[in-house]
Amino acid sequence: MLALLVALSLTLLTAYFGEPAGGALHALQRGVLQVLAPIQEGAGVALKPVRDLAGWFGDTLHARSERDELLRERDALRQEVISNESAAADNQRLRRLLELDRAGISAYQPVTATVIGRSPTVWYSTLTIDRGSVDGVRVDQPVVNGDGLVGKITAVSHGAAQVTLVTDHTSGVSARVVAPRVADRANGVYGVVQTAIGNPQDLLLNFVSRTSQLSRGDRVVTAGSRSNRLESLFPAGIPIGVVTRVDDEELSQYQRVHIRPFADLQRLNFVQVLTRPAAGAAARAQSP
């Protein structure tokens, strides 16, 4: 019996690993997700008080340190807003001058979804949400919440979908640093946000040149791209996180920049899927 079960597990593992995303076992999984989604949704609602109680304890423990940190952040941001107001006016004038059309998030139609499931292991940072293809959700669409980028859709069934978080080891997001130092303004500071497995509060901005000057507190947003050949999955300007540390490795041509994500990915109850671009914006984007 044991040998049979081990052989069955290994066969499943080999077959699943070798087949493409549209294969039979993947389709079977989507079918299971479809069947389980309403049950998970019901269980999620019924068990919400338990989750809230546990969350309340955690929130209380963290509230004090979080308040101090937020006060410091508020003071810094107040200073920044003043200088940004004039920069924003300049920016709009220059955009009009260059006829740049970057509609950003407003070009997408957000669909709000409730989180109904979550992977228990650190190796898979995935969520299950209660919206699926019937709501316009498709694979590769970006997922955000009020704080910033959460992840992207990686599997969809009729009434549910799987979200792979930015903290998953398979995730990679092109990103740029907001308001870089004077020396970097001409080219901007760009990189790819990846994760360090085992530490979901620490994302890494990789492939940042050692010549770029970054410091703690710099904010990182999605870079986006309107290239016809390689269009980014994520619209430009979605907040990702704030720089917490920069490791300057002497033997590498890149710096390793550590980022704390804005979105609290440990406690997500609701998220928004940015579904197909609104008709007007899509037409604008396609026009030459």
Positions that interact with another protein (CB under 8 A): 1-2, 5-6, 8-17, 25, 28-30, 32-33, 36, 39-40, 43-44, 47, 50-51, 54-55, 57-58, 61, 115-124, 126, 128, 154-155, 162, 169-170, 194-199, 201-202, 204, 266-267
Which of 103, 95, 160 has its CA nearest to residue 126?
A: 160
C-beta of 84 vs 119, nearer to another protein: 119
C-beta of 172 vs 237, nearer to another protein: 172
Interatomic CA distance for residues 61 and 55, integer angstroms: 10
Report, in Å, the least distance between residue 259 CB and another protein.
14
Residue 255's DSSP bridge partners are 208
C-beta of 169 vs 276, nearer to another protein: 169
C-beta of 127 vs 236, nearer to another protein: 127
C-beta of 146 vs 198, nearer to another protein: 198
Cα separation of the two ends of the chain: 65
Which of 123, 142, 131, 111 has its CA nearest to residue 33?
A: 131
Burial of 254 (C-beta count, 10 Å sphere; 0-12/13-18/19+): middle
Report, in Å, the least distance between residue 121 CB and another protein.
6
Interatomic CA distance for residues 149 and 283, integer angstroms: 25
Report, in Å, the least distance between residue 162 CB and another protein.
5
The two structure tokens encoding residue 113: 């979804």
Report, in Å, the least distance between residue 23 CB and another protein.
11
Which of 112, 126, 117 has its CA nearest to residue 41?
A: 117
Integer angstrom CA distances of residue 181 from 17, 186, 208, 244, 247: 45, 10, 14, 16, 18
Interatomic CA distance for residues 137 and 155, integer angstroms: 10
Report, in Å, the least distance between residue 240 CB and another protein.
16
Interatomic CA distance for residues 218 and 255, integer angstroms: 15
Count CA within 13 A, CB hemisphere, residue 80.
11
C-beta of 83 vs 199, nearer to another protein: 199
C-beta of 97 vs 251, nearer to another protein: 251
